[in-house]
Structure 1
Amino acid sequence: MPHLQRRELIQGSAALAAIAALHASRRAYAFPAQPSGKVIPWLDQPTKNPDPAGIQSQLVWEDLDSWITPNDKFFSISHFDRPTIDEKTWSLEIGGLIKKPLKLTLADIKSRPRQEVVFTVECSGNHGFPFFTGGIGNARWAGTPLAPILEEAGVSANGIEVVFFGTDKGEIPIRDVKMKQNFARSMSLADAMNPDNLLCYEMNGAALPPANGFPVRLIVPGWYGIANVKWLKGIEVRDTRFMSLLMARDYVTIREEDHNGETVWAETSVGRARIKSAPAKVTQKDSEYSIIGAAWGAPIDRVEVQIDQGPWTPATIDHSEEAEHAWKIWSLGWQNASPGEHTVTSRAIGITGEIQPAMDDPLIAKKHTYWESNGQVTRRVNIV
């Protein structure tokens, strides 16, 4: 811009700086940049966990103070035993309908190209029970992409399904038969070849904790936790759909659907995550109150908050830290918070216009299982 004079340049730069400062001042940083203040505990606390061995280290929403969930606070679920694995003798076998069977040690996997993804993992049963409200966490996962390994193995032309087997196993009664089965989940070959999928050996810069799948687990960004198989021992390609305990009999959502006035019962296997949000905490600093929460499960456009039965109010999303598959942290200044008990509800709206359903929405009200519990979350708080 040689024709601009120095004075015009200075004036233009000053104007741009002022605009930038104005926009920066309008951005809300829920944390860590913004002091959180005093946390006011929710009145509706989770009930006692009846299965502390199977469900461990749930997220305490009032403690949410960082975008990344620390490893020691990350939730962990086990459906069978929790295996103890020696990384020196561990290996991952890849077989089935492939041209070149592979057996990879941990060193083999670590020698391959490394890839990271920040991904919020939620159990599909989260908020399905009054004792289970913290089955979620956001971590930086690292490993090697799955797709090149399947390509190297050479999937046969008739291979359509990829099954992931965990080391954990248990005895499963089916009618009058009892059988020992390893944890196993599957997905289509097309889904398995997604370049974001990882054979993951690292969590937040450290080796995977034993509770979260050491030495290697599957990370499938955008899917519910059940698909992210822990303690991997084998991968198998098949030419038919895989119908196991955790694919066809459990982790199956049952809904009533209206087909031209006729009720049809639809059963679907839990798979991709659904749009969701939740209020995390109410904070007080001097006489000012703020509501902070998170939204995840789909690309988020905006979040709205309802206090009591009032209007839906837009929250401000914290853009200081974000990633494609990670939750977004949001906040709302609570103006003129009156003393007494209040309800706080949030709803997320996706970039395609999808809205997190209310609890009386047919998507939730006509669902007869607790999986995929993505209805609007309401919390109760007392302002003194």
Structure 2
Amino acid sequence: MPDLQRREFIVQGSAVLAAIAGLYASGVNAFPTQTGEKVIPWLDQPTENPNPAVIQTQLVWEDLDTFITPNDKFFSIAHFNRPTIDEKSWSLDIGGLVKKPLKLTLADIKARPRQEVVFTVECSGNHGFPFFTGGIGNARWAGTPLAPILQEAGVLDSGIEVVFFGTDKGDVEIRDIKMQQNFARSMSFADAMNPGNLLCYEMNGASLPTPNGFPLRLIALGWYGIANVKWLKEIEVRDTRFMSLLMARDYVTIREEEHNGETRWIETSVGRARIKSAPAKVTQTGSGYRIIGAAWGAPIDRVEVQIDQTPWKPAIIDHSEEAEHAWKIWSLDWANPSPGEHTVTSRAISTTGQIQPAMDDPLIAKKHTYWESNGQVTRHIRIS
């Protein structure tokens, strides 16, 4: 596995492999609170959020104690306004390069086959700013699959791009041209036909909350939050790539790459989520300590934790609650930590051997924008 070798991750011997396998098979539940258990707060708390109207209800990592994030604690981001929509007058238009344009009410959509999925949504800018570290949540989403609706509409052979328009809109100025734009994101027709994509009207057993897209939003499995369009109003099929504010100018990652000894600057539109993990909290019971965290963004094989500059140690993944597209909750017992300040870092490793990059990895160090901030997260703590 060259990727692992390059980052000097070496598993030595079948005995170590067997021990790690035993840890994962143990099914330790990370969340039960023990009598007298307390959370040791991190020293590096997020700075004050300068955009409370845009970014709301961030996850407080020390409060993470459930696999599913409650609706009232789920983060929300609005790039323009936060529309209030009357579901009785609302409808979804499906048009563009289709044989049979459709107009569906919420009742029409709810009458179609219902599908559920547990999916962790993360903003691609999460951990990109000192104040933005809680742009993530895990929920049980319910709705109807998108693919059969596109099939019913009959996408023409020339239709290669599917654009999702939100009701939210705002004023934009580009090259001295002032315009009003609705929030819009797109994906290829092949990606849109993924059977896991949902037109979602329910979150954790209740109607979508207004901050999370009522009455309807897209749930696009495996994509960053920006692609999961809220407050849906229209789906349009086009014959060219869609290059809007949030596809071609914003939410664009700029990165240096080395090619034959030369630096090449690459710009890519943010799309699919990347592998990531983060320490959530450290708890203390008597003289014992435990580190708890989460990993997501790819099929997770294992998670490792580094305390200060000591060797990486395998964490125990909690298998009591899990789902294919949801975060993995992990924990590591921390025996006899010395008094004073310590650093805690985690890294996730996928089933294909991909490792969450360190902050000095070229994938992160040579990235010049805050999107796709999936570098290893290090937290600071003081043990008394």
- Tell whether the structures are fold-level matches, with TM greater than 0.5: yes
- Please state whether the residue corresponding to 1:248 is helix, strand or coil: helix
CA change 1:23–1:35 in 2 (3 A) is farther
Matches of 2:180 and 2:131, distance apart in 1 = 29
What amino acid does structure 2 have at the position aligned with 1:220? A
Q: Is the 8 A contact 1:356 1:375 kept in 2?
A: yes
> 1:32 Cα shift?
4.0
CA contact (8 A) 2:258 2:264 kept: yes
Paired residues, what number?
363
Secondary structure at the aligned position of 2:378 is classed as strand
Task: Name the structure 1 match of 2:308.
Answer: 308
| Aligned mates of 2:354, 2:28 — CA distance in 1 | 24
Q: What is the one-letter code of the residue matched to 1:181?
A: Q
Distance in structure 2 (CA, Å) of the matches to 1:100 and 1:24: 51
| 1:93-112 alignment runs, 5 A limit | 93-112=93-112
Instruction: Classify the secondary structure of the residue corresponding to 1:190.
Output: helix
- Give the greater-gyration-radius structure (CA): 1
**Superposition RMSD in Å:** 1.3
Give the distance between the partners of 1:185 and 1:69, measured in 2 at CA.
25
1:222-277 CA distance string (max 9 Å, x none): 10000000000000000000000000000000000000001000100000000000
Structural mapping, 1:6-155, within 5 Å: 26-32=26-32, 37-155=37-155
Structure-1 residue corresponding to 2:7:
none
TM-score by length of 2: 0.93
2:223 and 2:237 mapped to 1: Cα distance?
Answer: 20
Q: Is the 8 A contact 1:201 1:215 kept in 2?
A: yes
How much identity, in percent, do the aligned residues show? 83
Shift in CA distance, 35/172, structure 1 to aligned 2, threshold 3 Å: farther
Question: How many angstroms does 1:33 deviate by?
Answer: 7.5
Alpha-carbon distance in structure 1 between the residues aligned to 2:35 and 2:118: 24
Q: Classify 1:25/1:348 alpha carbon distance in 2 versus 1 (closer, same or farther; 3 Å).
A: closer
Contact preservation (8 Å) 1:36, 1:283: no
State the AA in 2 paired with 1:382.
Answer: R
Instruction: List gaps (5 residues or longer) in structure 1.
Output: 1-21
TM-score (norm 1): 0.93
Residue 27 of structure 1, CA deviation: 2.9
Question: Quick check: 1:30–1:36 contact (8 Å CA) kept in 2?
Answer: no
Aligned to 2:156: 156
Q: CA deviation at 1:26?
A: 3.3
Cα distance between partner residues in 2 of 1:169 and 1:60 = 29
Q: Quick one: which amino acid aligns to residue 370 of structure 1?
A: Y
DSSP 3-state at the match of 1:380: strand
The structural deviation recorded for 1:336 is 1.3
Deviation of 1:207 after TM superposition, in Å, equals 0.3
* 2:303/2:346 contact within 8 Å kept: yes
The 1-side partners of 2:288 and 2:335 are apart by: 7
Amino acid at match of 2:383: I
Distance in 2 between residues matched to 1:194 and 1:161, nearest whole Å: 14
Report the CA distance between 1:34 and its aligned residue: 6.5
How many angstroms apart in 2 are the aligned matches of 1:334 and 1:51?
A: 37
CA gap of 1:232–1:35, structure 2 versus 1, over 3 A, is farther
Deviations 1:85-111 (A, max 9, x none): 000000000000000000000000000
Contact 1:118 1:139 in 2 (8 A): yes
- 1:297 aligned partner: 297
Cα 1:50/1:24, change in 2 over 3 Å: closer
